Structure 1
Amino acid sequence: MSGIATAVVVGSVATGYMGSKASSKASSKAAAAQTEANELSIAEQKRQFDEVQKLLKPYVDAGTGGLTGQQDLLGINGTAAQQAAINNINNSSEMQTYLQQGENAILQNASATGGLRGGNTQAALAQFRPQLLNQLINQRYQNLAGMTALGQNAAAGTGNAGMQTANNISNLLQSSGSAQAANYINQGNAQANMWKGVNSAISNVGGMYMESKLF
């Protein structure tokens, strides 16, 4: 009877061990596959975000330049930067073109009305240049404001893409962690079930042995 009991226990241990090993191996493979898939997805998420940054960078840079230009005109970056910005407009080809056209129009009008040498003509010529410069400064500021808004929107788009990427990666990392945790739990359960089966086999053999003694 003891030989049969030993064989039963050994068989139970062997069967339980093989079952536990197979279950643990399957659980490990599943966790590894899930982790690998998540790592590939994380790499793709990062690649896509890098591409978004590259696409939006020119607009972000343009917006930064626009904001700097506005600050220069307002004197925020110092009087030297403000004067340089105004001089840039005053000496621009745009300013010279409009100035020449405007002055010619004033002179032609004065000539047609016989007031070429009059005080009104000289006053008009004296006032025209600063008025034109002020108009062009305001126009330049508005143009820069458009660039600033463009850059702001691009920066916001980059930020939103970054937040979405971070959330996606966080979820994937949590998924990998859950897969690994489930793997460890499954391995523990497999081992527990193995020893439970061994104990059950020993108990059954013990019962059989007691019955044989009684009868």
Structure 2
Amino acid sequence: MSWGMVAGAAVSLIGGSMANRAEQRGQDAQREASEASIEEQRRQYDLTRQDQMPFLEAGYDSLGRQQAFLDGDRSGFENDAGYLFNREEMERGLNRRAAAGGSYRNNGTDVDMARMLSGFANSHSDSYWNRLAGRAGQGQTTASGLGALGMGMANSIGNIYGNTAAAQASSYQRQGDIWGQTAAGVGGAFNYWAQNRNASGGGWGGGGGGGWKYPSGGSGPYKG
């Protein structure tokens, strides 16, 4: 085989190897970019969830207080800051009026106090419930938002994985084409050399006409 043929085959092999390596590097870069994108999406979701957690926890707490109130536990209501403040103000005002009228701490004042506290408790319980409902609703809204955000992230990551898999499959196909073209180039160079050698009377294994011949008809080498 001439040095030109050897060089051509070597160039074909080297070119194929370099093209295949470049394809592999491109595949690696795409995979790294996909993983970086997925990691960033997860990081952003975790940050958002952390920021929204106080609202979610407040909603859970309020929902639990509502259930306890319905079950007859009035401790949350009776210790509510708004209820205690307004009750103290009401008692203080009633005592001042009773003292000014000379009836402080008598039975009539106690009856009036009990009647006012009963009505005040009934009216304030509605306010207490509504405030809990507002906080619980806020938590529910937060939970729904986080759920939608998580679903969107899951869909996005799924698309990234799907696109990456499709790109890898395409890359494998291109690598196969590269090596196939390389093999065809090397095989063509060898075939060209063999045909030229046969045409010039050269043999395959012994020198002169006593070696193996490679006919142009394609029937295979034969002993000359």
TM-score, normalised to structure 1, is: 0.75
Shift in Å, 1:154:
1.3
Q: Structure 2 counterpart of 1:183, which letter?
A: S
Unaligned residue ranges in structure 1 (runs of 5+): 112-116
Aligned partners of 2:12, 2:111: CA distance in 1, in Å?
A: 108
Instruction: Choose the corresponding residue for 2:23, options 19, 24, 27.
Output: 27
Shift in Å, 1:151:
1.0
1:147 aligned partner: 135
Contact 1:35 1:179 (8 Å CA) reproduced? no
Contact 1:95 1:136 (8 Å CA) reproduced? no
Q: Does 1:59 align with 2:47?
A: no
User: What are the superposed Cα offsets for residues 130-187 of structure 1, whole Å, 9 maximum, x if unpaired?
Assistant: 2211111111000011101111111122222222222222222233333333332222
1:69 aligned partner: 65
- Aligned length in residues: 198
Look up the SS of the partner of 1:42 in the other structure.
helix
Shift in Å, 1:88:
2.7
1:189–1:178 CA distance, 2 compared to 1 (3 A): same
Contact 2:63 2:136 (8 Å CA) reproduced? yes
Q: Structure 2 counterpart of 1:136, which letter?
A: H
User: What are the superposed Cα offsets for residues 28-71 of structure 1, whole Å, 9 maximum, x if unpaired?
Assistant: 11111111222222221122111101110111111111111111
Identity among equivalent pairs (%): 27
2:163 aligned partner: 175
Instruction: Choose the corresponding residue for 1:97, options 88, 91, 110.
Output: 88
* CA RMSD in angstroms, aligned pairs only: 3.4
1:90–1:47 CA distance, 2 compared to 1 (3 A): closer
Aligned partners of 1:146, 1:83: CA distance in 2, in Å?
A: 19
Aligned partners of 1:165, 1:15: CA distance in 2, in Å?
A: 47
TM-score, normalised to structure 2, is: 0.72
1:84 aligned partner: 75
User: What are the superposed Cα offsets for residues 54-96 of structure 1, whole Å, 9 maximum, x if unpaired?
Assistant: 1101111111111111111111xxx4xx143344359952352
Instruction: Choose the corresponding residue for 2:37, options 20, 29, 41.
Output: 41
Aligned partners of 2:188, 2:26: CA distance in 1, in Å?
A: 30
Contact 2:87 2:117 (8 Å CA) reproduced? no
**Which protein has the larger Cα radius of gyration, Structure 1 or Structure 2?**
2
1:200 aligned partner: 188
Q: Structure 2 counterpart of 1:142, which letter?
A: N
- Report the structure, 1 or 2, having the larger helix content: 1
Contact 1:73 1:85 (8 Å CA) reproduced? yes
1:43–1:89 CA distance, 2 compared to 1 (3 A): closer
Q: Does 1:162 align with 2:150?
A: yes
Contact 1:59 1:151 (8 Å CA) reproduced? yes
Contact 2:69 2:76 (8 Å CA) reproduced? yes
Aligned partners of 1:89, 1:12: CA distance in 2, in Å?
A: 90
